[in-house]
Structure 1
Amino acid sequence: MEKKSATTHVLLNCPEVQPYYNLFVGRYGYAPVYSEFSEWFKCYVHDPNNGIADQFLKDIAWGPDPYVKTMKKYNVNGYKFRTEESSKHYKSNNSGVWVKGDTNNQDGDIDYYGVLQEILELEYPGWPYKKLILFRCKWFDPTPKSGTRIDPHYKIVEVKHTRQYGSYDPFVIAQNVKQVYYAPYPLRRDKSDWWVVIKTKPVGRVEVENTLNVAYQNDISSVQETVDRELENELEHPDNIYEEIDLGEGTSMANEEEELSVDDEYSSYEEDSANSSDTSEEEELPVENEISEEEEISEEEELPVQYSSS
């Protein structure tokens, strides 16, 4: 039962298997996916009439080896995870898990919260060597209001830890998991069955949401090129009549304008220099006159001072 569930989960999360999953759902619907898809995929891929030559698809269709390796802790996505049993011996609890809901799933866009029970390493046959880390979790009931509820004002997420997820789908790929921890209500008896979900931040990572697509810059360049071509077509005469322009005349006129501007600069410079020289001469004259007047006054004052001999 667990091997079949793990095999199905890995196949449903493999991009190469997505076309065959859509084919299966188109024929049989969503109901038999978890019970029959893995076996149907194995038979379909290895049927020579279907002409599938991809060795990777043939290897994963056989499913993982029956012997798996287990571990108590695992670091991924900037989080340090521990199983629920292993976390009991530590002050910090690292067993809370959170998986973002998939809009392509029949359940809609639902977030799944749970507790990590076991960490498994799967190995697949064939070459190249293939292995995958799976988390076996105990999921809480994701049903809105009865199993999971969100406060409309504060956006606080609560889960009812006494209700479990109805379907048997305990496995999840480790790379798709984020970490949370749960806080109880110690003083509220009416909320003793509810835990508050606290989402943690990964260590050494920056999460960016709603990033722009890489092709966005290419879209801009193509639009600009289209606009340029449209303007070019609009500027063309409908009867293909073009006006000839003599570049030589335009060049000579430009040279004459440059020569005129140079002559103007020289003439303005000569006028400025002449004006500055006249101004300096006029300013020096009063200084000489003032000095001569002072000398005459001093000589006139000294004349009456004479000593006579007795």
Structure 2
Amino acid sequence: MISLFVNTWGNEAIYTEFSKWLRNYVYDEYSSVQHLQLVKEVALGPQSQVLAMNKYCVNGFKFQTEEVSRNKKTNNSGVYIQGDVDGTGQTIKYYGVIQEIIEVRYSGWPNKKIVLFRCEWFDLSHRGTKVDHQHNIIEVKHTRKYRSYDPFIIAQHAKQVYYASYPLRRDKADWWVVIKSKPVGRIEIDNVLDVAYQNDVAIVQQQVDVELETTLQHHQHILEEVSDDEILNVEEEISENEENESFDDEEWDDNENETTEEEEWENDGIETSEEE
């Protein structure tokens, strides 16, 4: 739909005309295109009230607004996002600072919500952003801002950065070094984006245990994981002990059936006396 709108109206009209155009396009009674109910509900626009937050955790990062992160040892307001491809085939990367975090909701069922970051971007030109490909160093001039109005991004698309200053160089007092943060508890894969919308309807999936854990009871009530080889060794020892016990029982039974020499002499004496 975006491409259809841009081809007709151009990029400059997206912020002023797209929402009205989308509503008319989706609810056109003479159109032969059938739209999903989700698209119809989104085309009506978000609710008038939004939820404002000062921090939000997503993609393994903890984001905070610039106001909350100010004067703290750990600054979590730095953000960057990959944009379109420029004329040279390079992906444009926007570096900025989060000013506001809001959650927007849409009417209809199931409930639909989306978290947006309102950011202030640094200048993308060579006067505001420098890239040293040899040493893989990116610098931004925090006194130069991006002039175009494009502040909002979807939270699921954001990645976190930290800006470090040059305390010992006066010629670079206005420049910051971009340091990319690593997500916690996630494996980062390029060019893969999460689903933006968050659905309130729970999806129940059948859970199947692929491998059951085998444990032994510890004397201090600690569960210890045991490998399959150890289990086989224990079973072999148990079977050997059972065989030995059964063999001992047979020997004991044989011993009970055997008579001693004294008993034989006594028996012989009894038999001799009876014959006499």
Tell me, yes or no, whether TM beats 0.5.
yes
Q: Is the 8 A contact 2:78 2:97 kept in 1?
A: yes
Q: Is the 8 A contact 2:86 2:92 kept in 1?
A: no
1:73 alignment counterpart:
55
Q: Which amino acid aligns with 1:47?
A: D
**1:191 maps to 2:169:** no
Give the superposition deviation at 1:29: 2.7
Instruction: Within 5 Å, give how 1:84-163 maps onto structure 2.
Output: 84-88=66-70, 90-103=72-85, 109-143=91-125, 145-163=126-144
Give the superposition deviation at 1:91: 1.7
5+ residue gaps, structure 1: 1-19, 212-310
Please give the alpha-carbon distance, in whole angstroms, between the structure 2 residues aligned to 1:154 and 1:50. Answer: 55
* TM-score relative to the length of structure 1: 0.58
Q: Which amino acid aligns with 1:186?
A: P
**Deviation >3 Å, runs of 4+:** 208-211
Q: Is the 8 A contact 1:42 1:61 kept in 2?
A: yes
Instruction: Within 5 Å, give how 1:185-264 maps onto structure 2.
Output: 185-209=166-190
Provide Cα deviations, 1:203-256, integer angstroms capped at 9, x if missing partner. Answer: 011223489xxxxxxxxxxxxxxxxxxxxxxxxxxxxxxxxxxxxxxxxxxxxx
How many pairs are equivalent? 190
Please give the alpha-carbon distance, in whole angstroms, between the structure 1 residues aligned to 2:43 and 2:191. Answer: 34
1:152 to 1:120, Cα distance in 2 relative to 1, 3 A: same
1:25 alignment counterpart:
6
Q: Which amino acid aligns with 1:208?
A: I
The alignment-based identity, stated in percent, is 56
Provide Cα deviations, 1:105-150, integer angstroms capped at 9, x if missing partner. Answer: 9x9721001111111010001111100111111111112x111110
1:43 to 1:111, Cα distance in 2 relative to 1, 3 A: same
Give the superposition deviation at 1:80: 0.7
Give the superposition deviation at 1:198: 0.3
Q: Which amino acid aligns with 1:206?
A: I
Instruction: Name the SS of the counterpart of 1:110 in structure 2.
Output: strand
1:47 to 1:108, Cα distance in 2 relative to 1, 3 A: farther
Provide Cα deviations, 1:3-23, integer angstroms capped at 9, x if missing partner. Answer: xxxxxxxxxxxxxxxxx1111
1:64 alignment counterpart:
46
Q: Is the 8 A contact 1:101 1:108 kept in 2?
A: no
Please give the alpha-carbon distance, in whole angstroms, between the structure 2 residues aligned to 1:108 and 1:36. Answer: 29
2:156 alignment counterpart:
175
1:150 to 1:192, Cα distance in 2 relative to 1, 3 A: same
Give 1 or 2: higher strand fraction.
Answer: 2
5+ residue gaps, structure 2: 193-276
Please give the alpha-carbon distance, in whole angstroms, between the structure 2 residues aligned to 1:146 and 1:35. Answer: 30
Give the superposition deviation at 1:104: 8.5
Instruction: Name the SS of the counterpart of 1:57 in structure 2.
Output: helix
Please give the alpha-carbon distance, in whole angstroms, between the structure 1 residues aligned to 2:141 and 2:86. Answer: 25
Q: Which amino acid aligns with 1:73?
A: K
Instruction: Name the SS of the counterpart of 2:40 in structure 1.
Output: helix
1:210 to 1:174, Cα distance in 2 relative to 1, 3 A: closer
Please give the alpha-carbon distance, in whole angstroms, between the structure 1 residues aligned to 2:191 and 2:147. Answer: 32
Please give the alpha-carbon distance, in whole angstroms, between the structure 1 residues aligned to 2:111 and 2:86. Answer: 30
1:38 alignment counterpart:
19
Q: Is the 8 A contact 1:123 1:131 kept in 2?
A: yes
Please give the alpha-carbon distance, in whole angstroms, between the structure 2 residues aligned to 1:53 and 1:25. Answer: 20
Q: Is the 8 A contact 1:156 1:197 kept in 2?
A: yes
Instruction: Name the SS of the counterpart of 2:114 in structure 1.
Output: strand
Q: Is the 8 A contact 2:98 2:117 kept in 1?
A: yes
Q: Which amino acid aligns with 2:20?
A: E
Provide Cα deviations, 1:251-298, integer angstroms capped at 9, x if missing partner. Answer: xxxxxxxxxxxxxxxxxxxxxxxxxxxxxxxxxxxxxxxxxxxxxxxx
Please give the alpha-carbon distance, in whole angstroms, between the structure 2 residues aligned to 1:104 and 1:37. Answer: 23
Give the superposition deviation at 1:32: 1.9
1:47 to 1:210, Cα distance in 2 relative to 1, 3 A: closer
1:158 to 1:83, Cα distance in 2 relative to 1, 3 A: same
